[in-house]
């Protein structure tokens, strides 16, 4: 999906992002979906997640599942 389809939503990025601003942004979309886009390419592709997928991802991050 293209980010231009979601200009009316509020995109947020972490307060801990690098000073260069190169990071990802997330937004709550219709139906509880969550969109993720590259902050350097705001008109580019958007990854879409269902509420369950997003909750699983956030739980994995908080639980250290993706630690290297």
Answer yes or no: is pLDDT of 4 > 60. Answer: no
Q: Return the residue matching tokens 């997330």.
A: 26
> What does the chain look like in DSSP terms, one character per residue?
-BGGGGTTS--B--TT--TT--SEEEEE-GGG-EEEEETT-TTSB-EEE-HHHHHHHHHHHHTTTT--
Answer yes or no: is pLDDT of 23 > 90. Answer: no
The reported pLDDT for the residue numbered 6 is: 59
CA 35 to chain centroid, in Å, comes to 5
Answer yes or no: is pLDDT of 27 > 90. Answer: yes
**Domain coordinates in residue numbering, the chain:** 3-12+23-62
Q: Mind listing the pLDDT tens digit for each residue in 33-67?
A: 999 998 888 888 999 999 999 999 999 999 999 99
């Amino acid at each position: 999906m293209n980010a231009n389809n979601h200009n009316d939503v509020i995109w947020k990025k972490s307060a801990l992002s690098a000073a260069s601003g190169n990071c990802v942004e997330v937004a709550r979309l219709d139906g509880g979906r969550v969109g993720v886009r590259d902050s350097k390419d705001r008109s580019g592709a958007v990854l879409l997640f269902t509420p369950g997928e997003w909750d699983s991802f956030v739980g994995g991050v908080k639980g250290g599942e993706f630690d290297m």
